Structure 1
Amino acid sequence: MPTRLLIIADTHLPRRARRLPPAVWEAAEAVDVVVHAGDWVTVELLDELERRTQRLIGVYGNNDGPDLRERLPETARAEIDGVRFVVIHETGAAAGREKRMDAAFDDAEVLVFGHSHIPWDTTTPGGMRLLNPGSPTDRRRQPACTYLTAETDDGALTAVRLHEVTLR
C-alpha cells in the first residue's frame, strides 16, 4: 500500500497568512507523512502539525527564529518506503542547481526544498528528483499559491502532483 505525502514549504505564518488554507489542512490530515521545507516563521504551526498529522519531517528556513531552530534541523534525512529523502530549505540559484545538488547529496533519491516560492520538479543528471512545492500562502510572482502531494511505494516516488490553493 502506498504511503501518501504532503509536501509544503514557505508557509510564513502569520506574516503572509493568518493560517494554512483549509485545503492544505485537509491534505495534511489525509496523508501519512507531511514534509515541510522551512520558513514556518511561527512555532505554533509546528506544534499544530505535530498534533494533527501522523508523521512530520521538517527543517528550519532562513526566516525561522531560535525557537524553531532548537526543534528542527537544517537538513533532514528520511527513508520512506525505500525512497531516500533529503529535506533542506535553500539550494541557491536555479542555474546549476541539479549538478550542485547531485554533488552535495549523492545518497538521496529525492531532495525537497523551498525558499524561492517557485514550484520546481526536475531530475538531476545523477537521477535525483528535485521538488519544491512553492508556497501555500505566498505566491509572490507565481500565478497561484501551491503545494505538492506524492506517494511512495516499494522504493519508488509516484503520483507527484502540484495543487493550486484558493485563499479564503
Structure 2
Amino acid sequence: MRLLLISDTHLPKRAKALPPQLLDEVPRADVLVHAGDWVDTATLDLLQARAQRLIGVYGNNDGPELRARLPEVAYAELEGVRLGVVHETGPAQGRERRCAERFPELDVLVFGHSHIPWDSTAEDRLRLLNPGSPTDRRRQPYCTYMTAEVAAGRLTAVDLHRLPRGS
C-alpha cells in the first residue's frame, strides 16, 4: 500500500495551485494523507476527486466550512498499521514524549503546522512524520512532501521529496 503524505497547502494564500509533481503522485497513492491547513475547500474537493482514499484533518488556518467536513484528529488502520493524523503537536522539544502519551494506541502519527519535515520515533514504537509543505517552504530550503509504503503491518520506504523551486 502506497501512502502520499502532505500538509499545509495553504491555497490560494501561499501558492495559486498544487505543484504538478505532487498532483501526479495523487492517483498513484492508495491513500492520501493531509495533515491540515488546506485553507480553501476547493483543494479538499480536488484531492477527494483524485485520490483513491483521503484521510485528512483541519488545521488552525482552516475555517468553518473545512472544520464541518474534517475532524481535528483522524484515525485509520492500514494493513495492520494504526495511523493517526493531527495538525499541531506543539513545540519540537518534548514532541516525542507528548505524542507517545497522547496517542498510545498508534504506530504512526502524521502531523503538520511547522512546515518543517520531521521523521522520528518515540519510545521505540510511535513513528512521527511531518511532510513539510508542498507550497510554503517558509524557512526551509525546499517545499516538500513524503511517500511511504505499508506492508505486512509495517511502515517502510518513507521518503521525503523535494519539489523544484517555483513549482
Question: What is the TM-score of this pair, normalised by structure 1?
Answer: 0.97
Partners of 2:115 and 2:102 in 1: CA distance:
22
- Letter of the 1:105 counterpart: F
- Letter of the 1:143 counterpart: P
Partners of 1:96 and 1:126 in 2: CA distance:
15
| Mapped pair 1:115 → 2:113 | yes
Q: Residue deviations 1:68-97, cap 9 Å, x none?
A: 000000000001111000100000000000
1:11 is matched with 9
Task: Tell whether the 8 Å contact from 1:102 to 1:126 is kept in structure 2 after alignment.
Answer: no
> Offset at 1:126?
4.6
Partners of 2:6 and 2:103 in 1: CA distance:
20
2:158 is matched with 160
Question: What is the TM-score of this pair, normalised by structure 2?
Answer: 0.98
Task: Tell whether the 8 Å contact from 1:33 to 1:55 is kept in structure 2 after alignment.
Answer: yes
Task: Tell whether the 8 Å contact from 1:110 to 1:128 is kept in structure 2 after alignment.
Answer: yes
Of the candidates 120, 142, 145, which is equivalent to residue 144 of structure 1?
Answer: 142
Q: Residue deviations 1:98-154, cap 9 Å, x none?
A: 000010000000000000000000000151000000000000000100000001011
5 Å-filtered alignment, 1:65-84, equals: 65-84=63-82
Q: Structure 1 unaligned segments of length 5 or more: list them.
A: none
Of the candidates 6, 19, 22, which is equivalent to residue 21 of structure 1?
Answer: 19
- Letter of the 2:158 counterpart: V
- Matched residue SS, 1:160: strand
Q: Structure 2 unaligned segments of length 5 or more: list them.
A: none
Partners of 1:153 and 1:126 in 2: CA distance:
19
- Matched residue SS, 2:66: helix
Partners of 2:27 and 2:39 in 1: CA distance:
21
- Matched residue SS, 2:11: coil
Runs of 4+ in 1 over 2 A off after TM superposition: none
Task: Tell whether the 8 Å contact from 1:136 to 1:147 is kept in structure 2 after alignment.
Answer: yes
2:40 is matched with 42
Please provide the CA RMSD for this pair.
Answer: 0.6
- Letter of the 1:41 counterpart: V
Partners of 2:18 and 2:78 in 1: CA distance:
25
Q: Percent identity?
A: 63
